[in-house]
Amino acid sequence: MDAIFWIVLAVVLLYAITLYNSLVKVKNAVSKAWANIDVLLKQRHEELPKLVDTCKQYMQYEQSTLEKVIQARSRVSEARQSHDMGALGLAEGALRSGLGQLFALAESYPDLKSNEQFLHLQSRISGLENAIADRREFYNESVNINNVAIAQFPDLVLARLFNFKAFELLKFAATELQDVDIGQRFKA
């Protein structure tokens, strides 16, 4: 009888350890996914002032658009540093909108459009935007896996016992989900 008790206890203990390790793994996957986004956001954060400075040389009458980009950049930075996913999603929408306006306005400035520095920065920022979108998808998937794991029985028992928390999804602004009217972007 004693042997059966110890065998059952050992099996339960091994199962609990396996569940705990699984929860740690999904929690760390979320942290890793966020770190990947954070690196890209920092890189873009460093490129935007260069883009604005390049544009200022040519776009003397478009200061409000340039200021929108800089203000949105600041809001993204603040949200990123505070890990506020709701605010980050909204700030990202505003930044993307401002960049879209900036790139569309650049069409009206032939000298700017042909500037090698501008073309390089435009390409670099567009590449970072695509990479951020890809990483957001991976982050949200990691968050979903974590949140489901800590809500399912029996994982939920250990998750509560060891204070595993749900993470917030990085949601897209409603404007990002709408189709883009390319014709409107190129009207000057």
Residue 120's CATH number: 1.20.1440.20
Range of the domain at 173: 2-185
The pLDDT of residue 179 is 42
Number of Cβ within 10 Å of residue 14's Cβ equals 10
* Domains in the chain, number: 1
Block means of pLDDT (10 residues each) for the chain, length 188 residues? 89 93 96 93 90 82 83 90 87 88 84 85 90 92 95 92 92 54 41
Contacts of 165 (CB under 8 A, 6+ apart): 150
Cα 112 to Cα 117: distance, rounded to the nearest angstrom: 9
The pLDDT of residue 183 is 44
Provide long-range contacts, Cβ within 8 A and 24+ apart, for 116-119.
117/50, 117/54, 118/51, 118/54, 118/55
Report pTM. Answer: 0.76
Q: Which of 51, 188, 42 is nearest to 122 (CA)?
A: 51
The pLDDT of residue 182 is 38
The pLDDT of residue 152 is 93
Contacts of 15 (CB under 8 A, 6+ apart): none
Q: Which of 170, 168, 155 is nearest to 24 (CA)?
A: 155
The pLDDT of residue 119 is 87
